[in-house]
Amino acid sequence: MAESIGSTLTARREFYRNKASESSSVTSIEGGQVPPKVIDDLIDNKMYRRKFNALIRKGHLQDLLDLAEVAQGKDKPSHWFARATRTTPVPGNESKPTFWDRSLKFLAKLRKVRRIAKEIGQRLKVPASSVNAVYKAVWRHNEGAIRMAVTAAETGKKHPFGLFCTLALKKPDTQAI
């Protein structure tokens, strides 16, 4: 009886050992999973790849790509990216949101601003050199900028974009008439 139990246990061990060695796919993060090149270039300390792979698994790949795009315009892109993706609270500020939480809110607002700016660009003939003025107006007034664009398109016969700039940028936080 004891011999049959021992042989059964040995057979089970051999079965699982063989199954594990047959598996050619590597599941560990060190084994080859690397974040996309755009993100990986911004990681100074490659030991933090695990954190980024975990964020990607949680569904934040597009968020990381958008943050990488924003980081390219900063003085020290890798430093800004590392700070924006910090997922642990700063010591002494445990009750406040982490930098990652704040970055997610920033990205939500950035996407909304891009959508509104695109809509304004469709309503008005915006010169390529003045696109930043539209973004500034949208950051300042949110949906109010759409109302200002509609007003400018309806009343500004010759230069609706000029009227939009006057309404949105010259007047502090007012609503369109």
pLDDT score, position 128: 87
Q: Which tops the pLDDT comparison, 98 or 21?
A: 98
How many residues are there in the chain? 177
pLDDT score, position 93: 87
Percent of the chain with pLDDT over 90: 49
Whether pLDDT at 45 is above 60 = yes
Rounded to two decimals, the pTM is: 0.71
pLDDT score, position 27: 47
Which token pair is 65?
Answer: 């790509």
Whether pLDDT at 67 is above 90 = yes
Whether pLDDT at 64 is above 90 = yes
Mean pLDDT across the stretch 79-101? 93
Name the band, by pLDDT with cuts 50, 70 and 90, for residue 29.
very low
pLDDT score, position 9: 58
pLDDT tens for residues 102-161? Answer: 999 999 999 999 999 999 988 888 888 889 999 999 999 988 899 999 988 888 778 888
